[in-house]
Structure 1
């Protein structure tokens, strides 16, 4: 904690009952500059003197009851504490030097000189041999010093190259490796959302996005990223920075809430498995007056504001606590999309599966006694003398007066780890008045300490599915309405039983996308064979399940292993590997290109069954297996392509305003294939996507504008751009119309036309 100290410093060690001046303890002639409180031990305090008078540091280990003064040989510009070791700290000086201390500021050691927030080049070398002439540079350019992120076992940096950013990651202090995003992704900004459970959640703003980001989830090393959610909305903060509308629910791993832009609307969705599946929020069934709410998914749902408060002493638009898992309090609205009008306050007691409305106006809500009680106060724009408190997770609220004069509440201090239950309100009676502090000891409202009879259990679930992130978790919480205090030894998770993994417990690997049937298929840009050597072997598995009495046995595992799942014609060998009791099984295969084969008493072989496709296209491959135990069949669609070598955009140089014009793209070679065209027209932020090589478009304004077409086939992406003029004179426009009416060309020749 850092705070600029102006004039006197007033401190309290009994939660605001009494105060004393810190200046009396350090000397009346000492001019104080900054105060720091150790984040891991609040009894330890550092106070810096004003460098214009002297360079010293004052250290206290008893919450400011006494101080020791130490002279410094440098002027401290900023201090940074270690997140776990309470005596470790870093100091940055005015002369661009970095110092470290391991005894809470009593002694300082120089770490490095010339530490400056400018672009530097990182190099790697062996100790004592950094002057070697042949040392290696790990990055192709200069590292953006502001991009450095150190979080858990990961280190991230950014290297601007070729007009765009390239990102690198180091896992467990190993060498830096370039982050692998999908091939079509051209990131212009990247934020690390979380690194929990040995996976990286990253928000990436693509080259064509302005106010949205895409969410990606990585493998363990943080190298290979797959898409988890597209077009997450951003909200501009008071300082002008963009804040992502994404919220990690405290106390429940893998649970996130996001606001997604979809079809020009913003909708709130939730995931319980780190982005594997997302769904809309079910609105409450009734309002505060008990009237029925007719809100049917997906046309109507509950939408939440996910902005965090820029004031750390206010709750913000949404609040959760790890000490109260499953309880979510948020500002929101009911309807087809997110709105900031006609909002109310909503609460969920079962981790977002069901919701109730608690207020019609916006409130700040704080958790007391580890979530056993909730306190709510109206937004600080309106003065108030009352607060609301609930002991049954927001079902009933009682009003209490905490001030005789209405107060603009600027914030509330709640010490969650304290033995005594104290809340300190601070605010002002008017915009001209000084700050007022109001201390509330709410311990008296609890009649006793909770016993076993005061607790109940609840099961974490996702719409009735008890397995969340691979576990069946049972939580213990106080029964709603019981006026007892939770003890220090209160345990939240009663039991956690591992579940058998099923399909929805798995994510699609890098380069694969989940289709409508729930299966992972290679993306159009991905070549699995390039990953097998450097990443890991990737198979598409088809399972034949045969029931025998009441037991289920796996009879067959068929792998479709190809050079590229989106095959190129020259390398289109499809190999089917068979495992199992093949000698007593008949199998029929239809490759979808007019070739069908049957096998009887087939012996197992590592080479498998081979088939070569001689043309590009999408083929339906089906297999039927049958033996004395039964039979089953399965189907997949195989995408065979040939590489795209060249694309040329055909568009007129001049078009007529408000008149439809044809734009087309020529792709070479011209073999039959499945090609996806992405058309970027003028300043449109979203492309027009088609499977046809031409589109029609009307330009409604004058000026010079560019048209870009991106062609995607297999693992190839090419693009071409043309500039079109829409600024032509009226006379030339008339002549072009006459030309279209097949009048003689001699009637159209003029100096103006020839100059065009």
Structure 2
């Protein structure tokens, strides 16, 4: 339905524009929409020529827009003081159009129509509808109007001004009972408003008497019983030219009608078929009764029909179509339904969830309901009626819960199940990915959520230049990069109505070197553990390393790792300026750069100022499980040899440390050797003060042990 217009003065009468098969057509009803039909077009046009228009292929269509501006009329008008008279703009054809618009009028409430103008006109009701005034809708200046005293059958032309006027609006005096109207407009586009007041009282020479009125029977194509009554109105004869005045009142007499099938519409849950009968809709079960209906009580069993609202018919087929009162049946519960009050299958952690349980069939007052929330809690109610407002519950953990409602009485039971997803708000995600990766080598990507448990989560991964994402239910994926360069990885996490994402860039190379970094403890005091801070500090560390070692900018990357204590990792990348194909030379060059960086770190040469008064020292993290990552296959043998030598030296140190107290000569030698080395060391060069070989490392351990053994001896007198 596109437009709906209620006709004034006749109860239950409406006009509507309905869209059917992409065509808008005008329909009319006399019983509040129970029955609709098309409007029959006039048999002749304004000039008396016959109009060939056959229903249902051709009919009259009206524009039903009512003007919101009190100074302009709309496309249609009717008045309570003039029942049966309707004036509207429209067209004749298969559908409503905006071209070839004419003005039509009916004097018998839409049964027959006449064309009165072949252009658009504004029509006003004067003297209770005894006179009609029409002014042309045009952007051009005008000086004439049209007046009719016989319900639009004849129109007389009158001049209302000497100079043509651009009409902006027309306003009648308060109430339709007057014969005074005001036209306002302007002589030119630059002139001020002009008001023209017109008094039509001088046209009439007498007041109406009883002989000037006639009776008019309201009908619908000959059917006098509308809305259950026959209505007879007292109207002015079209041939009478007199003034009705303010004392005129519309009078109507009515008589009752016997009820027929036309006085009833389809009841709730029923639909009208093509043969006019009301049958149950596919979703409605006529045998269902109210859940409050208990054994020994009665209920109204619908026949599929109900009387149209405001219909006043009596007797007739009323008893046949009216709902009948019957005894409530005794039956087992059937059609148990379990839903949430919001109608959704999701809930928020810690919030009240309201469950609604209802029965389609069964003795609701004698059917107990048990609701298992799926989290170890359950409630039982004696009947369905006691839980009409719902059952509230709060979940304390996220997850998917199997909620079960069971209705049971002496005749049987029924169960309904609902799977509820309890979630909490996803606040933050972090994509954990390596800063640098080896070409064609598998890389693990992990999305870290906060909070870690938010319910059902979907992960959408956009890796590199792939046009299609990888969608998973797990927070980790493995991938490889086939080309060197910088690749981006984006992960989107969908949890409930929230979607968050994080993005990382990964430098892909044939091989590289890396090492973990540690810092002086004062850095942890200023670490807010946010991504922006880590990015800024990474740049500062990189600049400090380049300044201390002279490594080129394009060969060094630094990233600060999340969490506390603060840790970082540097990456040495291949030199692109070296000749391609000489992998051994480039790998050896990376080893040399790595030694330079580690040497600078071990000598505390890498420092930076975090803020005034806060000096941070960068160290090489010696206790890292993989302090130096060698990703080239050519050096796997040397790495194993180095690891084996470290193990052997460690065992030797342990043996010496364990048994040296039992060999006095060894202690003396170690102490003497320590004194000699101290004499040979230069205090100005910190590099020479560090052990340069595995043997120096053994001596250092022995010196510490000698000092430890000599302290308690010095406390006792010789």
The answer to which structure has the higher strand fraction is: 1
TM exceeds 0.5?
A: no
Question: With structure 2 as the length reference, what TM-score do the two structures score?
Answer: 0.42
Bigger Cα Rg: 2
Higher fraction of helix: 2
* Larger relative contact order, structure 1 or 2 (CA cutoff 8 Å, min sep 6): 2
Which TM-score applies when normalising by structure 1?
Answer: 0.40
